[in-house]
Amino acid sequence: MTDARLQRLRAVRAIVRHPGDTARPNVRSDINVTPLVDVVLVLLIIFMVVTPLIASGVAVDLPRTRNHTRSPDDGKQLVVSITADKRLYMGATRVADVRELAQRLTDAHRSAPDKPVFIKADGRAPYGMARQLMQALHEASIDDVILGTEELREGH
């Protein structure tokens, strides 16, 4: 027999098994959970990274009050933040001063008059900054204003 014919015969024998040939590959009956764990960990990391980005505005330490009313952050508000070091933000964008912020809020309020202005002022921010902002909003005839607070818990 020639080498080519011998190789073809071996290939055919490898494909077609004889009835007496009982050699089978081992079958694993347990479940391999490693890919599942990998996917779950990747999703967890994605949610951990994305969740802080969903919150509107800049992170500030809100004052605590006893009469706290919870409202969901549904994105239907114009969020204004005042930090402890007197910086002003509209959403996540820094604004130079109160007058510029009032002008931007007036423009945004004209395009969406049903959106209230949500003020998140840091508890350590000077009261004068919040007062100037409130005065500018009043002069711009924006009356739907919400002041953000956190719930005062017993023992704090």
List the domain boundaries for the chain. 64-151
pLDDT on residue 43: 94
Please determine, looking at this structure, whether the domain spanning 64-151 carries the CATH number 3.30.70.260: no
Contact by Cβ (8 Å): 132, 46:
no
pLDDT digits (tens), the chain, 156 positions: 678 888 888 877 777 766 566 666 677 777 888 888 999 999 999 988 887 666 566 777 787 888 767 666 666 788 888 998 889 998 888 888 888 988 898 888 888 888 888 888 888 888 888 899 889 888 888 888 888 888 877 765
This prediction has a pTM of: 0.59
